[in-house]
Amino acid sequence: MREITYKEAIREAMIEKMREDEKVFLMGEDIGVYGGAFGVSMGMLKEFGPWRILETPMSEAAFTGVGVGAAIMGMRPIVEIMFADFLTFSADQLVNQAAKLRYMTGGQVKIPLVIRAPQGSGTGAAAQHSQNVEAWFFNIPGIKIVVPSNPYNAKGLLKSAIEDDNPVLFLEHKLLYNKKGKIPEDDYRVPLGQPHIEKEGDDITIVTTSIMTYRAIEAAKKLEEEGISVEIIDLLTIKPLNTEIIEKSVKKTHRLLVVYEGCLTGGIGGEIIAKIAESNAFLYLDAPMFRLGGKDVPIPYNKNLERAAVPQIEDIIKKVRFIVKGDWYA
């Protein structure tokens, strides 16, 4: 095992896939000489040249469309969107083309397209550069959504995404890029659609993703000192949403909290809770199920307001105490 950062793990996944498959290429704004807005593709231009590290004009709609077309023609493009917020410009290509064409052609056309995009708050980038966008695409059939939380699963999931024959939206949290973690020397994959039990516990299940996994782990450490045992499930893939592990966990702990950074209203938490409510795991609950999401506000620029707009460690602790101690509606 060796220790590398989250962004190095993503870079390694791209480099290794490009070395083994000439159909894989990367395109996006400032990804070549500059190495990308967050340095993820640093040095790749030197190895692969301008025909496989394609610098694009500042038009997400145009180059996402090029990616869709390239995928239809048998290539395996990786399209980098500088900030996930700018996926609004790519929406028609993703929602009306990439997500639907395989179905509309009866499987004759494959769309092996990966869209990489950094999202999330915490960098002082304000309302137009700090959103969590997974809920926007959660309602669209035909797109897979991946939200890696550490270097190990970032590399393994990205390789699986590149090898998939369907469009995959690969959302990277900006605050995780410099987080370090251990990964194997050997080649490996992390399969899409398989949540991971990050920590086992007995009193409550926390389902979470991305940077919230770290915050849930820190909250769980403090809650352990109070005698509250927390089980943490990192979804890794939001779509397809596999709830089997969640159901099994809820049957054990009898309580559920879903923690996510995106806006509370219309977020992934409501769907996860609905799935559990429709399963026989619902019969095992000793408390109502709860969501802990971001405030329904644009992300502020002010650092204190920005922090207050999304769940922090202390918010998770407070919510878990509230659920476990039973004062739900007092």
φ/ψ of residue 211, rounded to 5: -65, -25
Of 60, 80, 198, 231, which is the active-site residue? 60
Strand (E) positions, 177-236?
180-183, 196-199, 204-208, 230-234
Residues whose CB is less than 8 angstroms from the CB of residue 242 and which lie 6 or more positions away in sequence, other chains included: 193, 194, 195
Of 29, 129, 247, 261, which is the active-site residue? 129
Q: Is 314 a catalytic residue?
A: no
Cβ–Cβ < 8 Å for 278, 247? no
Q: Is 60 a catalytic residue?
A: yes
DSSP state of 300: P
Which residue carries 């996994």 as its tokens? 213
Cβ–Cβ < 8 Å for 309, 293? no
Record the tokens describing residue 293, joined without a space: 């999401």
- Selection from 223, 210, 314 nearest residue 267 by Cα: 210
Residues known to be catalytic: 60, 129
